[in-house]
Amino acid sequence: MSTPTSRAPMLSTAEALATLLSAASPITGTESIPTLEALNRVLSEDVISPLDVPPMNTSSMDGYAICTEDLATADNRRLPVSQRIPAGHAPEPLKPGTAARIFTGATVPPGADAIVMQEQTEAAGNEVTILHSPAPGEWITAQGADIRSGSIILPAGTRLTPQALGLAASVGCAELQVHRRVKVAVFFTGDELTMPGEPLKPGAIYNSNRFTLRGLLENLGCDVTDYGIVPDKLDATRATLREAAQAHDLILTCGGVSVGEEDHVKPAVEAEGRLSMWQIAMKPGKPLAFGAVRRAAQQSDAATSAETFFIGLPGNPVSSFATFLLFVRPFVLLLAGMRTVAPRALSLRADFTQKKADRRNEFLRARINAAGGLDLFPNQSSAVLTSTVWGDGLIDNPPNHAISVGETVRFIPFSELLN
């Protein structure tokens, strides 16, 4: 009697993620691009400020620049106004015993050590009466208060947000050195797949995963090549893998990595490279394939040919969405040169009860209600794509754990997982 083949134990989500990320390192290739065009790109080198910001002492208020010692000798605290200083104009040194009319952002004149805002003064003709006794430094933004010359303001590995671009511009950076974009090839298998706009034949379904995964990749700033729907044939799948491997850093597929007679992605990747099939103790998700496809040796390169990474996602729409966010996203961000890729989680109150615990790590679609707690989408099936639009994020629920109303749970917002 033959002995049944034992299955490999399922990996925990932490084990699977650690194994996946250990294989990733920043891609080679950088470029210098205009700061105005660098949104969402990843810095390949530190941005170091060549100057102090602000580059001089500036006024934080509209008012009058004075020397505080002059108030002790001024007649009735009345001072003549010796100059007017708008922002962007170089002032003269402050004449002893006088005040200078000054505006927000303007350079504080040498000799002045405080600003009195205009609401605390009375102006008459060419004189001003000071109604407040300021302390030295009051309403003055000191040179270098924000940034010191020579300091690192944006470290390598930073993904450039709009505010990061503004910070780079504030020290005069017209161009930034960034990693090139991660090149990702994506294709889908399944003769049942139909594109929106085409007639839906019996047994066919619309290919929602193509739209979701392309959008997720483009949202991460990837350079995406979409090979569309590949016929359910081994030779067609192998040909697409070979072509995609030549000019990409990652090949991403959805479905077709099982062991059925019509699932050709697994044998195709094994023939063109190497593949590990993982069973992950998570819900939704579970199956994930990771490996690499050989690149054909270039004629100009006598060295051994390189490889292109391969990740195969499950076919159910919520499963592919969740596994992308939890596994593909951090992998791509590491390839892109980012150093911190873990999403931040919140501790929030569960305003629901889930009595049935699952042996797997569940990622439950939920949203934040008006009271600051979490509501659970009523149908947590891996085929219910509406839950991903309704929800604000995923509850990371440990294995074998039932959730009681009022309990604090770990919640990962989509704003973190899509960033």
Domain locations in the chain?
13-28+180-335, 30-53+146-179, 58-141, 346-417
Give pLDDT, residue 298: 58
Per-block mean pLDDT, blocks of 10 residues, the chain (419 long)? 53 95 94 97 97 96 96 84 96 97 98 97 95 96 97 97 97 97 92 82 86 96 94 91 96 75 80 93 92 77 69 93 97 96 97 95 98 97 95 97 98 95
Name which of 286, 320, 339, 361 is nearest 216 in CA terms.
Answer: 320
Total-model pTM: 0.87
In the CATH scheme, what is the homologous superfamily, with its name and number, of domain 346-417? MoeA, C-terminal, domain IV (2.40.340.10)
Contact (Cβ atoms closer than 8 angstroms) between residue 109 and residue 83: yes
Tell me how far apart the alpha carbons of residues 334 and 134 are, in angstroms, rounded to a whole number: 52
Give the pLDDT confidence score for residue 302 in this predicted structure: 38
CA–CA gap between residue 287 and residue 167 (Å, rounded) = 43
What confidence score (pLDDT) does residue 47 get? 98
**pLDDT of amino acid 7:** 57
Helix (H, G, I), strand (E, B) or coil at 288: strand
Amino acid 301: pLDDT: 43
Look at domain 13-28+180-335 and name its CATH class: alpha beta
CB 365 within 8 A of CB 390: yes
Contacts of residues 213-219 at CB distance under 8 Å and 24 or more positions apart, as own/partner, are 213/186, 213/252, 213/254, 213/313, 213/320, 213/324, 214/186, 216/321, 216/324, 216/325, 216/328, 216/329, 216/418, 217/184, 217/186, 217/252, 217/332, 219/418
pLDDT at res. 211:
94
Same fold, 30-53+146-179 and 58-141: no
One DSSP character per residue, 109-133 reads PTT--EEEEGGGEEEETTEEEE-S-
Which amino acid is located at 94 in the chain?
Answer: L
Q: Helices H, strands E: what count in the chain?
A: 9, 26
CA distance 257 to 4: 22
Dist CA 5 CA 88 (whole Å): 79
Statement: 58-141 belongs to CATH 3.90.650.10? no
What residues are paired with 312 via a beta bridge?
253, 289
Give the pLDDT score at 282. Answer: 95
What pLDDT, on the 0 to 100 scale, is given for residue 95? 97
CATH architecture of 30-53+146-179: Alpha-Beta Complex (3.90)
Q: Assess whether the previous peptide bond of 54 is cis (omega < 30° from 0).
A: yes
